[in-house]
Structure 1
Amino acid sequence: MPPPAAVVAPVVKVEIWSDVVCPWCHIGKRRLGAALARFPHRDQVEVEWKAFELDPGARSAAAGDGVSATGYAERLARKYGTSVAGAQQMTDHMTQQAAAEGLDFRFDRAVRANTFDAHQVIHLAAERGVQDAVKERLLTAYFSEGEAVGDRETLVRLAADAGLYADEVRAALEDQRYAGAVRGDEAEAAALGISGVPFFVVDRKYGVNGAQSADALLQVLERAWSERSPLISVASDGAVCGPDGCTA
């Protein structure tokens, strides 16, 4: 009698394009976490953070060179062609929304940053299994602590806080080892028509634009899960190789 067919649990893949200086990206990450905490199959969800630069031409300011809350609003107003009062309302609203998710936004501490290197660090973190922790560390550093996430030595220190080896991070940045991967993410975003972040892509089937509520994200996860079928292995006695070696 042949052995019973093995059933492999399906996995839901969630890819998120975002930037580490994007307020709604930090809020969206927190809301995704809340949705996953309520999702009964969360252990079968794979999350991957993808690179998106809100301002690829940004020049990084030096560490400690933060701005006042009014200065941040002025910078935002210039960028988006709105009034300073309107930009201040935007930042106040984002601060309130962040607080509702347990986040402490301090726009008065924000240090202008080019985020290309930060995205390279996040790619390295993915290879080392600590991507989510590094992403969270960089977001918190920028929005709450006034860290200069565009400064390489600051990135090295922050990445080490989240589980990477400082020397490896420094070497990867010096070599620009993940520059191609970052450009690849950005090209992929353009091909998918992504023009704003956060943007969640679930199983390459559903696109969720913006920092939606945890309820909305949970509904998408549930729908994606319901449409997946377990992979049924109909033959299980072939020769294979695994982490512990190969079968004879």
Structure 2
Amino acid sequence: MGVKVEIFSDVVCPWCYIGHVRFAKAADRFRAKGGKLDVTFRPYQLNPEATSDGEPLLDALERKFGPNVSQMTQRVTQTAAQEGIETHFHQAISANTFEAHRLIELATRQGRGHEMAERLFKAHFTDGLNVGDPDVLAKLTAEVGVQDTGEGAEAVQEQIDRARSLGITGVPLFLFEEQFTVSGAQPEETFDAVLDEVAQRTGQIPLAPAADGCDDDGYCAV
């Protein structure tokens, strides 16, 4: 099975996209040296009240954070670019993401969870597509090669409720082996260190402990 990793995120969260890319690079290095991972994407909705019709993202951000959103998005755009991520906040659409999460759930069952999440992130931040629109979602699902059986809504709601019960109030959050957590889009080196540390602690691979590891309360130093 390998080290169990659950990634709580939302596909309209830019730091989730950045964290997704950074963790994926660390995961590749971990696998390259013999480690095994069991990665699952978990749903979280930053704005569960949003409609599927959507609205310009900058309008939604300005309403929530005030008139200085351009400075905020500029910083995110620069950070994302360093990770090879192209973002266009001026054309992005704020929309309800429940159905997008349902498709990630189905994709995960079909062995394409990473690909589905990646495509949804790109659709929102790069392509300016409405990830709450059923027609858009149908095209993206077909593009990734996922069969939409109509199932998954109950599982998504259960995981959203679970995130709330775990006290998760912000994403991305990375939960390792249901006991060690890392929050935020941390540098790749942090993910490298935590993966090594968790693998060593759980005896899944004989790696040396990381310098900045996990304490006895399940929090991994960053």
Equivalent of residue 76 in structure 1, options 53, 61, 65: 61
Corresponding residue for 2:167?
A: 193
Corresponding residue for 2:50?
A: 58
CA RMSD of aligned residues (A): 1.8
After superposition, give the CA deviation of every residue in 1:7-31 in whole Å (9 maximum; x if it has no partner). xxx6101100101111111000000
Q: What CA distance in whole angstroms lies between the structure 2 residues aligned with 1:147 and 1:104?
A: 14
TM-score, reference length from structure 2: 0.86
Q: What CA distance in whole angstroms lies between the structure 2 residues aligned with 1:218 and 1:112?
A: 33
Corresponding residue for 1:225?
A: 199
Size of the alignment, in residue pairs? 204
Whether contact under 8 Å (2:60, 2:94) holds in the other structure is: no
Query: Closer, same or farther in 2 for the Cα pair 1:42/1:50, shift >3 Å?
Result: farther
Q: What CA distance in whole angstroms lies between the structure 1 residues aligned with 2:131 and 2:104?
A: 12
Stretches of structure 2 that go unaligned for 5 or more consecutive residues are 206-222
Equivalent of residue 206 in structure 1, options 161, 180, 186: 180
Listed as ranges, the matches of 1:88-167 within 5 Å are: 88-165=70-147
Instruction: Say yes or no: does 1:180 pair with 2:180.
Output: no
Give the AA of the match of 1:128: Q
Q: What CA distance in whole angstroms lies between the structure 1 residues aligned with 2:62 and 2:2?
A: 42
Corresponding residue for 2:28?
A: 37
TM-score, reference length from structure 1: 0.78
Q: What CA distance in whole angstroms lies between the structure 2 residues aligned with 1:155 and 1:229?
A: 41
After superposition, give the CA deviation of every residue in 1:182-230 in whole Å (9 maximum; x if it has no partner). 1111111111111000000011121111111111111110100111225
SS of structure 1 residue aligned to 2:90: helix
SS of structure 2 residue aligned to 1:107: coil
Q: What CA distance in whole angstroms lies between the structure 2 residues aligned with 1:162 and 1:187?
A: 27
SS of structure 2 residue aligned to 1:200: strand
SS of structure 1 residue aligned to 2:202: coil
Equivalent of residue 41 in structure 2, options 34, 49, 59: 49
Give the AA of the match of 1:184: E
Query: Matched residues, percent identical?
Result: 38
